[in-house]
Amino acid sequence: MAEIVLISGLSGAGRSGAADVLDDLGWYVIDNLPTALLSTFVDLAAQPGSEIDRLALVGGRDHDRVLERVADLRTSGHRVRVLFLDASTQELVKRYNATRRRHPLAGEAGGLVESIEIERGKLDPVRGAADLVIDTTDLNVHQLKERILQAFDESEESHLQVSVESFGFKHGLPIDADMVMDVRFLPNPHWDEALRPLTGHDPAVSDYVLETSSGSDFVDRFDDLLGSLLPQYEAEGRSYLTVAIGCTGGRHRSVAVAEELAARLRARGVAVRAAHRDLSR
C-alpha cells in the first residue's frame, strides 16, 4: 500500500514550494493531478514491481470531490494525509501583484480579492478535514521548507507531531491553530520598563511570567490537560496538532508559556516544535 500526501490549499499559498521539498525528500510528486484520476494513478503505483511507494499529489481545481477520493483511498488501506497551505487574503494579493500572475478563478470574479475569497469558500471543507494546515502568511521559503521537513521527517517513528505556537491577539488569531489558549490573565512584563525590551526567551521575562502562583498553576494544569488529550488525538488518527498560546503582543507571556509547555512535552517523549509568530513585531 502507498503512502500518500495530498497537497491542497489556496493558489499562491505555497503548494508548489511544499511539493518541491517533498520531491527533495524522495517523494514521487505529481502536480495538478485531476481528482478524477487520483485513484487510478494510485492503483498503478501500487502494482507489483512499481518502485513508487510515497506519492505527493498536488491537487488541481476540482475541489468538490477531493475528500470523497481521500476517503476511498483510506478505505483501500492506503495511508493518506492531507496537507493544506493557507495564507491571508492580504498576503495573497501582495504575492499576486508582485508576480503579476492571473488567479485561476479570475474568470469567475470581478477582481483578485473576490477570486481569492471564492476559492477560499470552495476549499473550506478540504481545509477543515486536513491533517496539517500551514499558514504561510509570515513564512519565507526557507521557513516553509523547515516546517515541511519537520512534518515529514522519516527518520523518526510515526506519531502525533505537536506544534506549540505563540502569537499576539492584536495581530489576529493563527489560522492554522487546532487549539487556542489565552494567557492575557498572567502578569504582563510589558509594564516593567526593564523587561519591556526583552522577550519570553529571556530568563528574566520567563521567571516573571512563570514563577507566580497564577503562572505555575496554569502551566501545570494545561500540561496535565494536554497529557490526557494527546493520546486521544493520536488514537483518532491525527498526525499533527497545533496549540496556539496568545497574549496581547505575542512577545512576552505567550512566548514564555509556549517554550515551557514545549519543553515539558518534549521531556515526555512527544514530538514537538515551538514557534513564535509575532516575536519580531
- Assess contact for 85 and 13: CB atoms under 8 A: yes
The neighbour count for residue 271, using CB atoms within 10 Å, is: 18
How far is Cα 132 from Cα 111, in angstroms, rounded to an integer?
30
CB 250 within 8 A of CB 281: yes
Q: Are residues 192 and 222 in the same domain?
A: yes
Indicate if 72 and 14 belong to the same structural domain: yes
Total domain count, the chain: 2
Quick check: 32 pLDDT over 90?
A: no
> What CATH number does the domain containing 74 carry?
3.40.50.300
Q: Which of residues 93, 127, 151 is at a domain's end?
A: 151
> What would the mean pLDDT of 225-253 be, rounded to a whole number?
92
Tell me the pLDDT tens digit for each residue of 124-139. Answer: 999 998 999 999 998 9
Where among 151, 179, 202 does a domain terminate? 151
The reply to whether 281 falls in a domain is no
Domain shared by 270 and 206, yes or no: yes
Is the residue at 156 inside a domain? no
208 and 122 share a domain? Answer: no
Lowest mean pLDDT among 171-185, 226-240, 244-258, 261-275: 226-240
Domain span at residue 259 reads: 161-276
190-229 pLDDT, tens digit per residue, is 999 999 999 999 999 999 999 999 999 999 999 999 999 9
Is 19 inside any structural domain? Answer: yes
pLDDT reported for residue 60: 67
pTM of the shown model = 0.71
Are 118 and 35 part of one and the same domain? yes
Are residues 114 and 232 part of one domain?
A: no
Which pLDDT belongs to residue 194? 96
Alpha helices in the chain (DSSP H): 15-24, 38-45, 66-75, 89-99, 112-129, 141-151, 203-210, 213-235, 253-267
Between CA 42 and CA 53 the distance in angstroms is 10
Q: What is the pLDDT of residue 195?
A: 97
Contact 20, 142 (CB under 8 A): no
Asked if residues 15 and 144 have their Cβ atoms less than 8 Å apart, the reply is no
Strand-pairing partners, residue 58, are: 7
User: What residues have CB less than 8 Å from 248, skipping those under 6 apart?
Assistant: 168, 169, 170, 184, 188, 190
Q: Looking at the structure, do residues 55 and 186 belong to the same domain, yes or no?
A: no
**Domain termination site, one of 151, 172, 188:** 151
Q: Which amino acid is at 155?
A: S
CA dist 171 and 281 (Å) reads 9
Q: Compute CA distances 37 → 33, 66, 93, whole Å.
A: 7, 11, 31
Does residue 208 share a domain with residue 170? yes
75: in domain? yes
Residue 90 has pLDDT above 60, yes or no: yes
Do 123 and 239 lie in one domain? The reply is no
